[in-house]
Chain A
Amino acid sequence: MDQLTRHPDDDPLLRDLRRVLRSTPGHPGDWVRLDDVHRGASALRRRRQAMVALSGAVALVAAGVVGAAALNRQRETRPPVTSTVSPTPTPTPSPTSSPTPSTSPTPQPSPSPSPTVALPADFRPLAFTATGSSTFWVLGRGGSCAGGCLALARTTDAGRTFTAVAPPDADPGSISDVRFVDRRDGWAFGTALWSTHDGGVRWTQVTLGGDVARLEAGAGTVWALTRTAGQPDTLWRSPTDRDDWTRVSLPADLVKTDLALQGGHLVVHGDTDAADVLLTSDDAVTFVRHAGPCDPALDGRLSAVAQSVWLTCATGTMAGVHVSTDGGASFRRVDLRIGLPNSVQAGARDAGHAVLGEPQTGLLLVDATGRVLATTPFGAGDVTSVGFTTPDVGYAVVDEGTTSRLLRTTDGGLHWSEVTVR
């Protein structure tokens, strides 16, 4: 009997199928913005008009060629009547000869089609940002510009396929990192800051003053840490869905500052006369100040996931790694039995694990007791970023000088494989 003719209640598979499909979760109604739909529809109409105009022009040229050929044939076959035929006839095609007779074939001042965005064949990953285990953006360089043009790629299927997204029209050297908080709102930053609120269709430059040393977004707010030589670092915030930046007043003048987000909680690490950790849970209205484990004169770098905050401290000889499971209020030292250079990068995985990117060596999966659980060597190269989107799925960008690679793990950092962006 055809399975489809059975009553669903008679067939467990059909019954389960209905239940599973109908349990598909709903989305927030603003997951797709109507403003974006209107903009996209306008672009679509412009492209169609341009195509119609183009096809009309092509038809005109084709008709002209056909007409000229016909006249030439006539001249070849008919006896020359030189007194009535122009020696260089200008073809005037009949309007009905065009396949699109309703459209004037003359040039129109209609907007040109949107430029097609394509990824350069020599795309070199520079930074990544993820909004889920399967959805991420990769900022890179490639193409014919000196040092490589900026390029941005987005995937929603965990790197199987990528779609080119228009990057900001910025000096490529001014952009070194990228963040997206959802499919629309994102920021590209470095010595400059650009934002988009329509998934990269349009980018706007934001001027905060100074280089953007770190930018993180979550819980409806984007935080940017700006740095100018010889001055204390400044902290800025804006709603994620628009550019409405305000400067945040910090309880101390901080230098060598870093920040991380743990849900809606902001963790700021900075040096004053001590290496402090500042915590806020009320959108930076108030801060609670804690003594941090790093040397006040040296850098500290944060990496946070929901369950833990990891902090790597430069020490002058080798890096110290610390972990907090109380949102950054207190840290305990990870007793690593290996020496790590100060430039080591930590990517928090969960409460008990992180991946350390050791320059010129590889990626080390460590637990909070300091044991190295797995080592993935990558040879000569520096890890420019490493992080996890779920306890299983993580990414790392390895810069090898003339080239760079995006690596991905799906088993919590035990194994890594290269993701090719094309």
Chain B
Amino acid sequence: MDETTRQAFDTFARSRMRELLRFAHALSGHPDTAADLVQDALERTLAAWPRVLRKDDPEGYVRRIIVNRYVSRWRSVRRERLVADVPEAGYEPAEPHDAQLWAELARLAPRQRATLVLRFYEDLSEAQTAAVLGCSVGTVKSQSAKALARLRGQLAMASVGQESETTWTS
């Protein structure tokens, strides 16, 4: 790789690094996993840099790799033996309700979480989300609906649990 190309990549990566890490954190729920995902995506982007530049959307390319690696990483994880309980998140919002929502997001299947992150963090349309995930718009709709239904159900259960606990202690 010549020096000009290297500098172009470095300039791009430096300028977008924080946003990419934050996006990967929102996606994976964990800062270390986010760093792994971003490093992996940038390595793959750099290995194909001339081709990526020709397509004129390097950041979109990186984000697509992050999402796909996140979902496929989970697929490979599923085949491995699970040895501990639910992993803790590296960040927890201060508000109890937000913390509960963050925790429930972490329990979603990664494809569902990815769908919600692309729709509500990235503000992508259903069609754009489908393009990033490599699926149909119909799949995006169904994944979103299932994810939101699950979140509603879990948050409602938690709310009932808190109320009954309050009643019992008073």
Measured CB to CB, the residues of A under 8 A from B are: 2-4, 8, 13-14, 16-27, 29, 31-32, 34, 36-38, 40-41, 44-45, 48, 131-135, 156-161, 183, 393, 408, 410, 417-420, 422
Contact = CB atoms under 8 A, between A and B. Distances in A.
B47 A134 contact: no
Contact of B84 (A44, A45, A419): A419
Nearest to A390: B88
B107 interface: no
B39 A32 contact: yes
Nearest to B43: A40
Interface in B83-118: 83-85, 87-91, 93, 97-98, 101-102, 105, 116-117
A25 to B, nearest CB: 6
A4 B144 contact: yes
A400 B149 CA distance: 49
Interface string B5-37: 010001001100110011001100011111110
Interface of B: 6, 10, 13-14, 17-18, 21-22, 25-26, 30-36, 38-40, 42-44, 46-47, 77, 80-85, 87-91, 93, 97-98, 101-102, 105, 116-117, 119-121, 126, 141, 144-145, 148, 151-152, 155
28 contacts: A4-B141, A14-B148, A20-B98, A20-B105, A23-B93, A23-B98, A27-B18, A27-B22, A27-B35, A29-B18, A31-B35, A32-B39, A34-B14, A40-B42, A40-B43, A45-B47, A133-B88, A156-B33, A156-B36, A158-B85, A159-B84, A160-B84, A393-B88, A410-B85, A410-B88, A417-B84, A419-B83, A419-B84
Nearest to B126: A4
Closest 3 CB pairs of A and B: A40-B43, A41-B46, A158-B87
- Name the prevailing secondary structure of the B interface residues: helix
Nearest to B76: A161
B148 A21 contact: no
B36 A4 contact: no
A2 B13 CA distance: 38
Contacts of A135: 32, 90
Contacts of A134: 30, 32, 87-90
A393 B85 CA distance: 12
A24 B35 contact: no
Contacts of A418: 83
Given A4-B126, A31-B35, A34-B14, 11 more contacts: A3-B148, A13-B151, A16-B101, A24-B22, A26-B22, A27-B18, A41-B42, A41-B43, A134-B90, A420-B83, A422-B80
Given A4-B144, A20-B93, A419-B84, A32 B21 contact: yes
Contact of B101 (A17, A22, A24): A17
Contacts of A3: 144-145, 148
A34 B13 CA distance: 8
Contact of A160 (B18, B77, B121): B77
Contacts of A133: 88, 90
Contact of B35 (A21, A32, A40, A45): A32
Contacts of A158: 84-85, 87-88
B121 A27 contact: no
Contacts of B25: 24-25, 27
Contact of B117 (A21, A48, A183): A21
Given A32-B21, A183-B35, A132 B119 contact: no
Nearest to B77: A161
B97 A16 contact: yes
Contacts of A422: 80-81
Contacts of B34: 27
Nearest to A131: B32
B84 A408 contact: yes
Contacts of A25: 22, 25, 31, 91
A241 B42 CA distance: 21
A3 B144 CA distance: 9
A16 B99 CA distance: 11
